[in-house]
A = this chain, B = another copy of it.
Amino acid sequence: MYIERMSTSERLIESTRELLWERGYVGTSPKAILEHAGAGQGSMYHHFKGKPDLALAAIRRTAEELRATAERVLAGPGTPYERIEAYLRRERDVLRGCPVGRLTMDPDVIASDELRAPVDETIAWIRHRIAEIVEEGKRQGQFAPSLDGEEIGAAVLATVQGGYVLARASGSPAAFDAGVRGLLSLLAPSTPGQRR
């Protein structure tokens, strides 16, 4: 990622993003960030008000990047089912978990409306985006009219977020893949183009 070529401020944000992903907010100290970024104390407090301020910048960027990645897949080609399948099957660093979702288990993030906001917005956005695609599939007759877009959206996103939990518990991505296959087997149109 050529982190050594970035400005100090950029290096601080990128280092924070990586450490937040790996160790969460509570487990990430300013000292660890500074060492990773190759900067001194003064730099950090010159560019940011403190740990929460730097974390906010990092979380916002990670959230925006995740949203863009999801949209690239969800707005891709194919039927509604195929686009949801593409989202579920997209390449992921499964054992690292979701850089946004993992923050919901961080007590200090959840306690701060400011830190939680980008997490909430990103997750709500992806869920709603899936819901729209489900509704599109219903109109096309690919999904049963009885399905609720928002509910299926929640189930799809939860399967992903929970899949990370299963995978990390077992130390293997296999459980994530199994959950995805299970959900897809339930969602799959029984005949292509038909209601189920």
Contact = CB atoms under 8 A, between A and B. Distances in A.
Interface of A: 22-24, 26-27, 97-98, 101-102, 104-108, 110, 116, 119-120, 123-124, 127, 146-148, 150-166, 168-171, 175-176, 178-183, 185-187, 196
B163 A107 contact: no
13 contacts: A27-B27, A104-B165, A104-B168, A120-B171, A123-B165, A151-B181, A155-B183, A158-B158, A158-B159, A158-B160, A159-B159, A183-B183, A186-B187
A44 to B, nearest CB: 21
List of 6 A-B pairs having minimum Cβ-Cβ separation, nearest first: A158-B162, A162-B162, A155-B182, A161-B162, A151-B182, A154-B179
A182 B131 CA distance: 11
**Number of identical monomers bound together in the oligomeric complex:** 2
B169 A154 contact: no
A161 B166 contact: yes
A186 B146 CA distance: 10
A120 B174 CA distance: 13
A24 B151 contact: no
Contacts of A26: 23-24, 26-27
A88 to B, nearest CB: 11
Query: Which of A24, A98, A104 counts the most B-chain CB atoms under 10 A from its CB?
Result: A104
Nearest to A161: B162
A179 B161 CA distance: 12
Contact of A146 (B101, B107, B159, B185): B185
A179 B166 contact: no
A175 B154 contact: yes
Contacts of A107: 22-24, 27
Given A168-B110, A170-B120, A179 B163 contact: no
